[in-house]
């Protein structure tokens, strides 16, 4: 059974991941994701779907940055870690693209094993706004 120390390490890993995402630090993201990790992005738009494997996830993040000219940011607001390797990151996403602006609240439920993200599932407060922005 994981200890409080493990919970804190998992939360710190996710905190580092948010910072790395916001600064396009692919080396840190490479360290934090298991090579077989899965990321689920909700919606019906060109950047939604399931991304299987660390390389596919990092390519997805790269596409988000490319599509927004590097303006996409996930401002971390809260982190909650449980005893079973899950960490929930609540954040506010902002971005600009093709004359459109995005500003929505989101969360990601991360599952970590041995200090690495093995799965992540995004939840978006206003999925219609996200789909309109990315489409």
How does residue 4 score in pLDDT terms, banded at 50, 70 and 90? Answer: low
Domain ranges of the chain: 4-134
Q: Name the residue with higher pLDDT: 1 or 80.
A: 80
Phi/psi of residue 108, each to 5°?
Answer: -130, 130
pLDDT of residue 3: 58
| Tokens describing residue 30 | 């490479």
How does residue 1 score in pLDDT terms, banded at 50, 70 and 90? Answer: very low
User: What is the spatial order of strands in the sheet that 116-124 belongs to?
Assistant: 49-52, 33-41, 116-124, 100-113, 86-97, 73-81
Determine whether domain 4-134 maps to CATH 3.10.450.50: yes
H/E segment holding residue 94:
strand 86-97
Gap between the Cα atoms of 58 and 21, Å rounded:
10
Number of neighbouring beta carbons within 10 Å of residue 4: 9
Q: For the stretch 96-123, what's the b/e string if a residue is b when 16 or more beta carbons lie within 10 angstroms of its beta carbon?
A: eeeeeebebebbbebbbeeebbbbbebe
How does pLDDT run across 73-109, given as a tens digit for each residue?
999 999 999 989 999 999 999 999 999 999 999 999 9
């Amino acid at each position: 059974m994981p200890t409080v120390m493990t919970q804190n390490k998992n939360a710190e890993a996710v905190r580092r991941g948010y910072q790395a995402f916001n600064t396009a630090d692919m080396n840190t993201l490479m360290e934090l994701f298991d090579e077989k990790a899965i990321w689920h992005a909700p919606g019906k738009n060109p950047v939604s779907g399931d991304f299987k494997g660390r390389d596919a996830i990092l390519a997805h993040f790269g596409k988000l940055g490319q599509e927004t000219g590097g303006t996409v940011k996930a401002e971390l607001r809260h982190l909650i870690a449980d005893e079973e390797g899950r960490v929930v990151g609540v954040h506010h996403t902002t971005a600009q693209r093709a004359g459109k602006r995005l500003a929505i609240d989101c969360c990601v439920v991360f599952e970590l094993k041995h200090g690495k993200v093995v799965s992540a599932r995004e939840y978006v407060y206003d999925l219609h706004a996200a789909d309109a922005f990315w489409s």
